[in-house]
Amino acid sequence: MRLAPPSTLRLMRAAADHPAGGSARPDFAELVKLARDGDLQAKEALVEALQRLVWHTIGDFGLSRDDRQDVFAGTFCRLFERLHTIREPERLPGWIATTARNEAHTLLRARGRVVVSDEPLEREDSEPSTDDRLVEREVRVALHTAFRALPRNCRELLRLLTAMPRLSYEEISELLAMPHGSIGPTRQRCLDRLRSAPEFRPFIEGGQP
């Protein structure tokens, strides 16, 4: 059995319901204000709200897993240390993504070396109990494999485009030093490349009318 398009459709719908599909941004201005006064819960809420963005922002620097965790914690160190200097707290996602990238560069510099991670990123999903689940898992693994084969600029852009909380094109433009107007076309080109990846092709063909 190869692929049942209905399962894929169901998966697409589930993914669209995923938080990254579009829940509202937390009230960063309020959280930052509370955190500045030392409110621990507000600080922890900032970690919760920004963890996924930070983790994925530093996903394509070739960091080992330990170094990536170190940079992750370091980014939040920087956030709490600089809380008083953040002028536009409502733009915190852009600020922290920039900070995370800088911290990754700093770590590489402090080590005086480049470590290319060859640790597998794949994690076995547990208990694929039905055929449907098996198909879902196959689609996800194929998609992730295809993603990892993309050029770095595509991976960086797509990670930021799937970031949670959402980043605006303006924020992404600043982060990647990419003109605002070229984000749309580059996104298109990268998604097309993803679609045409050999790993993913059977799913596409199966899924199209």
According to CB under 8 A, which residues from 62 to 101 bind another protein?
62, 65, 69-70, 72-78, 80-81, 83
Q: Are 37 and 56 in contact (CB under 8 A)?
A: no
49 binds another protein (CB under 8 A): no
How many other CB atoms sit within 10 Å of the CB of residue 175? 19
Q: Are 122 and 144 in contact (CB under 8 A)?
A: yes
Name residues contacting another protein, limited to 104-143 (CB under 8 A).
Answer: 105-116, 121-123, 125, 139-141, 143
Name residues contacting another protein, limited to 166-185 (CB under 8 A).
Answer: none
**203: its two tokens:** 């799913």
17-20: long-range contacts, CB 8 A cutoff, minimum separation 24: 19/164, 20/52, 20/162, 20/163, 20/164, 20/166
Residue with tokens 């547990």: 126
Q: Which is nearer to another protein, 125 or 131 (CB)?
A: 125
User: How near is the Cβ of 10 to another protein at its closest, in Å?
Assistant: 10
Chosen residue from 4, 33, 59, 197 binding another protein by CB under 8 A: 59
195 binds another protein (CB under 8 A): yes
User: How near is the Cβ of 71 to another protein at its closest, in Å?
Assistant: 9
User: How near is the Cβ of 32 to another protein at its closest, in Å?
Assistant: 12
User: How near is the Cβ of 108 to another protein at its closest, in Å?
Assistant: 6
- Tell me which residue of 139, 148, 140 sits closest to 202, measured CA to CA: 139
- Looking at 24-32, 36-44, 86-94, 170-178, which segment touches another protein (CB under 8 A)? 36-44
Q: Are 165 and 49 in contact (CB under 8 A)?
A: yes
